[in-house]
Structure 1
Amino acid sequence: MRTVIHLSDLHFGRTDDSIIAPLIAQVHALEPDLVVVSGDLTQRARSSEFKAARQFLDALPHPQLVVPGNHDVPLLNVAARLLQPLRKYRRYIGEDLQPVYMDDEMVVVGINTARSLTIKDGRVNDRQIEMARRQLAAVGEHMVKIIVTHHPFDLPAGPQHHDLVGKAAPAMRAFAICGTDVLLAGHVHTSSAVSSAGRYDIPGYSALVVQAGTATSTRGRGESNSFNVLRIAAHQIEVHRLAWEPAQSAFALAATQAFEQRGNEWFETRPVTDVAPTASATHPPTGTAPG
């Protein structure tokens, strides 16, 4: 079994500083095999914000897989936005915009969906889709295959102020061919975990689509700061959402969902479980999803 911490939408420049140290401590306590950050590390792509984000990442466990978000592209500096949109991201965070992590049980591929010609929307292109397909198709079927983007392939229930990532439909068809299991994203500042079958009708295939809320920023949209802990095994995944509790100065377990794979499709086997605010956040429960 692997433990993946899924953080998103840090927005350094608009953070709640009281959250930073407890978050770092709790992520360490969870002893993750991988820390994923699905974009928007900064609020306005300023050097000072990237430096703060870099300091935060350096304080977290490694290995890490990080992708940029639309806020990591300069907004007001038009020349930088058009000519070198991710120059500061590359300098402070990482040169690789399609990073890959692989161990004996899982392979994780990041895709940059941030674009300079849009303010908040994002997209994948044919080259990125094909590269990810080849990377995931090259590993054995026993591996859990994960894609990380900033912009989502599905949207949480409720009123929407965002769009799906551009070219989502052809990307999903390619992901079906190579057997992608999980799609991790952020952007909407709302948590969810659902089967892709609700949006994409691909016979005999569905992936688990997991959205993370904003881990550290003050730009909440009706949901507390939160992050996800994924417990991943072959054909079974648990998604735990940990939400910030100011009275405890800690992230507390707020909900758990369990999924299992049958054939090439993922199904929820245990519904969302709301947990009392006093529940322990340091060690979410582990176990085997029921058959």
Structure 2
Amino acid sequence: MRTIAHLSDLHFGRVDPAIPPALLRAVSAALPHLVVVSGDFTQRARVQEFEAAARFIKDLPAPVLSVPGNHDVPLYDVMRRWLSPLGRYRRYITRDLAPLYADAEIAVLGVNTARSLTFKNGRINRRQIDAAAARLARCGPNVMRILVTHHPFDTMDGDPGQGARQAVLGRANMAMAGLLQARIDVILSGHLHTSGIGQSTTRYPLPGHAALLIQAGTATSTRRRGEENAFNVIRIADRQVAIERMAWRPDRGAFTSIETERFSKTAVDWVHLGSPAGPAADRG
């Protein structure tokens, strides 16, 4: 079994200062094999914000795989935005914009969707999809293939309007077709500051394969958009995935488990197994 702690939208520069120490304790208690951070480490891509984010990452209890978010591109520093949009991210977080973690059970690949030409929205291109497919093709047939992006492939709120279309990753239709052909099993993302779980078939009814879409809320930002600060603990074993949502409880000064959803992978889709009282299995 493999355990992934999925954090997103830290937004150092606009955090509740009580949360980061409690978040580190909660992530450590989950005993993750890997910590995934799906973008927006900072609020305005300032040096002091990246320094705070780097200190936080250093204290995490497992290897960290991360992708940048749109807030990690300078907004008001116009020269830096165009000439070196991810220069500070690469200096303080990681130089690798397409990181890969792979072992005998999971392969987790990050793809950068942040762009200097868009202030909020993200995009993905054919070259990135082809590269992702080529790298993941080397994995064994029983390895769970997981993609990490900042911007989501779906809002999972049933909203078909203009706001929902703008929130979804640019060129997502092209990307999803290529990813499903590469047999991506799970996609982790952030950006919306809300948690959610869905299936690719809802928005992308492509035949033969489906991806489980897992959205993480904001772990530490004060901009919560109606949802408590939260992160996910994802446990993967025997083609089953359990997603445990951990939510911040300020009265307790701690993150607590509030729900767990379990899914099983079939040849063509994911089957929802319900909401058990606890995790799917003990850590192996």
SS at match of 2:116: coil
Q: Deviations over 1:64-94 (max 9, x none)?
A: 1010000000000111101100000010001
- TM-superposed deviation, 1:62: 2.2
- CA distance in 2: counterparts of 1:172 and 1:45, whole angstroms: 29
- TM-superposed deviation, 1:264: 3.1
Q: What is residue 24 of structure 1 aligned with on the other side? A: 24
Q: What is residue 278 of structure 1 aligned with on the other side? A: none
- TM-superposed deviation, 1:231: 0.5
Contact 1:7/1:38, CA 8 A, preserved across alignment: yes
RMSD of aligned C-alpha atoms? 1.4
Q: Deviations over 1:169-198 (max 9, x none)?
A: 111111111110000000000000111111
Question: TM (normalized to structure 1)?
Answer: 0.92
SS at match of 2:258: strand
1:167 to 171, 187, 190: 171
User: How many percent identity over aligned positions?
Assistant: 51
Q: Deviations over 1:182-241 (max 9, x none)?
A: 000000000001111111111121110000000001010000000000011131000010
Q: What is residue 188 of structure 1 aligned with on the other side? A: 192
Q: Deviations over 1:112-165 (max 9, x none)?
A: 000001110001111111010111112111000000000001113166564211
Question: Does residue 221 of the first structure (1) align with residue 215 of the second (2)?
Answer: no
- CA distance in 2: counterparts of 1:216 and 1:163, whole angstroms: 21
- CA distance in 1: counterparts of 2:53 and 2:141, whole angstroms: 35
- TM-superposed deviation, 1:287: 3.5
- TM-superposed deviation, 1:286: 2.9
Contact 2:242/2:279, CA 8 A, preserved across alignment: no
Contact 1:241/1:255, CA 8 A, preserved across alignment: yes
Matched letter for residue 90 of structure 1: R
Matched letter for residue 195 of structure 2: S
- CA distance in 2: counterparts of 1:23 and 1:98, whole angstroms: 26
Higher alpha-carbon deviation: 4-13 or 164-173: 164-173
Aligned residues: 278
1:257 to 246, 250, 261: 261
- CA distance in 1: counterparts of 2:258 and 2:123, whole angstroms: 31
Q: What is residue 280 of structure 1 aligned with on the other side? A: none
Q: What is residue 230 of structure 1 aligned with on the other side? A: 234
- CA distance in 1: counterparts of 2:225 and 2:172, whole angstroms: 24
Q: What is residue 12 of structure 2 aligned with on the other side? A: 12
- TM-superposed deviation, 1:23: 0.7
SS at match of 1:109: strand
- CA distance in 2: counterparts of 1:286 and 1:269, whole angstroms: 11
Question: TM (normalized to structure 2)?
Answer: 0.95
- CA distance in 2: counterparts of 1:111 and 1:39, whole angstroms: 10
Matched letter for residue 155 of structure 1: T
- CA distance in 1: counterparts of 2:99 and 2:84, whole angstroms: 19
Contact 1:5/1:229, CA 8 A, preserved across alignment: yes
Matched letter for residue 23 of structure 1: L
Question: Does residue 141 of the first structure (1) align with residue 141 of the second (2)?
Answer: yes
Contact 1:156/1:191, CA 8 A, preserved across alignment: no
Structure 1 unpaired stretches of 5+: 276-283
SS at match of 2:167: coil
> Runs of 4 or more off by more than 3 Å in structure 1?
158-162
- CA distance in 1: counterparts of 2:140 and 2:188, whole angstroms: 21
Show the 5 A alignment for 1:1-291: 1-157=1-157, 160=163, 162-271=166-275, 285-287=279-281
Contact 2:73/2:114, CA 8 A, preserved across alignment: yes
- TM-superposed deviation, 1:255: 1.4
